[in-house]
Amino acid sequence: MNEPRQWPPLSPFQVGIRGRCPRCGEGHLFDGFLKLGRSCEVCGLDYSFADPADGPAFFVICFACIPSALLGVWIEVQFQAPYWVHLVTTLPFVLLTCIPPLRPLKGWLVASQYQNEAGEARVAVKETGVPAP
């Protein structure tokens, strides 16, 4: 008789930033740049539980886009730079600080959801049918 295999707890940060399965740490989490796969090809974990929503984009906006925009404003105010200067300085900086972190952040959020058994919030209802306070 086959017993269910016990998987060792893995760090959501370590498996998430590498884009690996949060259960076994071996299979791939992504089926493209940001598209999650259906399941792990090694352990068979179904990824339908994962819903990071706009979390990765929020973190990138907070920690990368705002400093990138401030850089562009500083260059404009300090040097009154023509548009081509922004094209060769600000635009590459924005792209390099905003796009690459999306995938590791999404992987980390999905692995954290698995580790913490996160799910949709549910409201406790008493037998009377009235939501509990």
pLDDT over 50 at 1, yes or no: no
Q: What percent of the chain has pLDDT over 90?
A: 73
pLDDT tens digits along 27-50: 999 999 999 999 999 999 999 999
**Tokens representing 118?**
């996160």
Task: Supply the pLDDT for residue 82.
Answer: 95
SS (H, E, C) the chain: CCCCCCCCCCCHHHHHHHCECCCCCCCECECCCCCECCECCCCCCEHHHCCCCCHHHHHHHHHHHHHHHHHHHHHHHHHCCCHHHHHHCHHHHHHHHHCCCHHHHHHHHHHHHHHCCCCCCCCCECCCCCECC
pLDDT tens digits along 55-97: 999 999 889 888 999 999 999 999 999 999 999 999 999 999 9
pLDDT over 80 at 25, yes or no: yes
pLDDT, the chain, mean: 89
